[in-house]
Structure 1
Amino acid sequence: MNRYLKLVHMEVDRFKYILAGLMSLTLVCQFGAVIWMTMSAVSYRKSGAWRNGGSMDYSYSSSPTGNLSFTDVMSTTQSIFMIPILLSIGVLAIYVFLIWYRDWFGRNTFIYRLLILPTARRHIYFAKLTAILIFIFALVSFQLAVLPVEKSIFNLIVPSDLRDPSYFSDIIYSNPALGMLIPWHFDSFLVYYGIGIIAVIAIFAAILIERSYGRLGILYAILYLGISVILLLFPMFGLGLDDVNGYLYPNEIYTIELVMCVVVMSVSVWLGCRLISKKITV
């Protein structure tokens, strides 16, 4: 366990500057958007132009009196909020591959040094998987922590007589980018992040297949990912979930989907651990 934790620490340490950069970009984009939009709206509201049909359009205020709420600001900054969120998703998606391949193609083929460590090779696999999960939930937690700070900034800028209350659920629903990152319902959270984790595990297995069998491994890896996708999508689209005259009830289809998810995840973990332990050599 101690060696496993050291491997996790090593993987986190290698990504820490990129993680810090993504968090910094999130702060700059979101704080900037909230401050600029809020100050512009307050200035427009105080000028009284909204009463006289002024040329500036701040119709995002949902209050008939023209008062502002943090929910209104969040709903109008969707595109800016989406920039760091989509960038973070893209960087993590690329790093799922880089976390393995840079060990092979980096200086002095670092993977060989990892494979000869006096520890079970499966620890390398689980350390990399744990690191990816840490990065994902660190960014999600950071976004959750930033929202109250942004709301506090909004409250500092907007006078109390011009401010309407906002609730956390309304804030999430008002911005699709946040709704995608932080599903409000627990079952949606399990579905989104569960499928994402299964995808990471399947990609790990495909990478190790490719590394184990060389050029032919590329074909095997693509075939494995294709089969995994088919198994995951077939219950939802092949069994007629939206067909009222379907042979199976929706609950039965969801059960089959859950079984397929468990099968793909279990097989991928087993295959990945077996390949790195038995097939890959130094």
Structure 2
Amino acid sequence: MKQYLMLTNEELKRSWKMIISIILAMAGIEILTVVGRVIYHERQVQEYMSYAKVSESDAIRTIEKLSFEQASSYFSYIILIGVALVLLYAVQIWYRDWLGESKYIYRLLLLPGNRAKIFFAKFTSLALVIISFIGLQWVVIQLSFVIFNWMIKDDYRATSTLGLSRTLKQLYTMNLVDVLVIVTLALFTVSFLFMLILLERSYRKTKGLLFIVLEVIAIVVIMMGGMYIIETLDIFLSQEISAIMIAIFVLYFIYTIWKSLRLLKWKISV
């Protein structure tokens, strides 16, 4: 347990500057997009008033008022970039140990005890990054909403309530169950990526790529096949379908972790 905590701390220490820099940069960009959208909207109104020689109320009626949902419309794209960066980090967290000059992975593999601690240290660090990213993004949304209401004139604002796009509503909700589902799906993706990386590191070259392709095909077949069978039989209730899909998901989640631990223990050598 002590080694696991030390390794987790080491993983975070090696990347915390990069992680914080990226998260703060994304937060800054998101806030700036809201500020820029408010300024641009106000300029549109003023320019239309000057061009059409109409009153402010007529200009606002023509251009329409600005809502926070419109002002934060770029958030979804920025969050997608963040998701992509997290996935890249999930790949980098393994390959940096092999590709670095010091070959840090060999030091890890030579540590006494079970190698599972190496896997779970990296997995935990990714989990903490994901949870921090989701939490900080929610803070950014709240802060952006405050800034939006502070900057925009009452006559220019469509509503004073916090309105989000459909994508953001799905990602950020006060429902604890939804948050847990999002985190679980993210961790499943991380575990699946870890398994693919360890497959490549275990077999290398053509054989490793072949196993990766087979695993990707397997998960697609399982998902599509399960959905097809359920729809074809048409004998299950909606609750039963949900239970079956959750069971398949949990079993495959366990499989990815088991496979990764097995590869790390038996296939990867110093």
**Global fold match (TM > 0.5):** yes
In the TM superposition, residue 237 of structure 1 has moved relative to its aligned partner by: 4.2
Structure 1 residues 258, 52: CA separation in 2 closer, same or farther (over 3 Å shift)?
closer
Aligned to 2:133: 139
Aligned to 2:241: 253
Give the 5 Å matches for 1:178-217. 178-183=168-173, 185-215=175-205, 216-217=207-208
Structure 1 residues 233, 131: CA separation in 2 closer, same or farther (over 3 Å shift)?
farther
In the TM superposition, residue 269 of structure 1 has moved relative to its aligned partner by: 1.2
- With CA pairs under 8 Å and 6+ residues apart, which has the higher RCO, 1 or 2? 2
Task: Indicate the larger mover: 135-144 or 151-160.
Answer: 151-160
Aligned to 1:3: 3
Q: Contact (CA 8 Å) 1:26, 1:84: kept in 2 or not?
A: yes
Task: Indicate the larger mover: 227-236 or 262-271.
Answer: 227-236
In the TM superposition, residue 50 of structure 1 has moved relative to its aligned partner by: 4.5
Among 210, 213, 223, the residue aligned to 1:222: 213
Q: Contact (CA 8 Å) 1:37, 1:73: kept in 2 or not?
A: no
Structure 1 residues 135, 57: CA separation in 2 closer, same or farther (over 3 Å shift)?
farther
Among 202, 207, 225, the residue aligned to 1:234: 225
In the TM superposition, residue 261 of structure 1 has moved relative to its aligned partner by: 0.9
Alpha-carbon distance in 2 for matches of 1:18, 1:214 = 29
Alignment pair present for 1:121 and 2:112: no
State the AA in 2 paired with 1:229: V
In the TM superposition, residue 177 of structure 1 has moved relative to its aligned partner by: 4.5
Aligned to 1:65: none
Count of aligned pairs between the two proteins: 263
Q: Secondary structure at the match of 1:204?
A: helix
Give the TM-score normalised by structure 1.
0.80
In the TM superposition, residue 11 of structure 1 has moved relative to its aligned partner by: 1.4
Q: Contact (CA 8 Å) 2:195, 2:257: kept in 1 or not?
A: yes
Aligned to 1:34: 34
Give the TM-score normalised by structure 2.
0.84
Give the 5 Å matches for 1:161-180. 166-168=160-162, 171=163, 174-180=164-170
Structure 1 residues 111, 49: CA separation in 2 closer, same or farther (over 3 Å shift)?
farther
> After superposition, what is the alpha-carbon deviation per residue over 1:55-77, rounded to whole angstroms, capped at 9, x for unaligned?
x9642x2xxxxxx6xxx133244
**For structure 1, which runs of at least 5 residues remain unmatched after alignment?**
62-67
Q: Contact (CA 8 Å) 2:11, 2:122: kept in 1 or not?
A: yes
Structure 1 residues 26, 152: CA separation in 2 closer, same or farther (over 3 Å shift)?
same
Structure 1 residues 228, 194: CA separation in 2 closer, same or farther (over 3 Å shift)?
same
Structure 1 residues 147, 77: CA separation in 2 closer, same or farther (over 3 Å shift)?
closer
> After superposition, what is the alpha-carbon deviation per residue over 1:90-139, rounded to whole angstroms, capped at 9, x for unaligned?
11112222211221122132110111123421010001111111111111
Alpha-carbon distance in 2 for matches of 1:15, 1:180 = 29
Alpha-carbon distance in 2 for matches of 1:119, 1:128 = 16
Q: Secondary structure at the match of 2:230?
A: coil
Task: Indicate the larger mover: 119-128 or 176-185.
Answer: 176-185
Among 120, 144, 149, the residue aligned to 2:143: 149
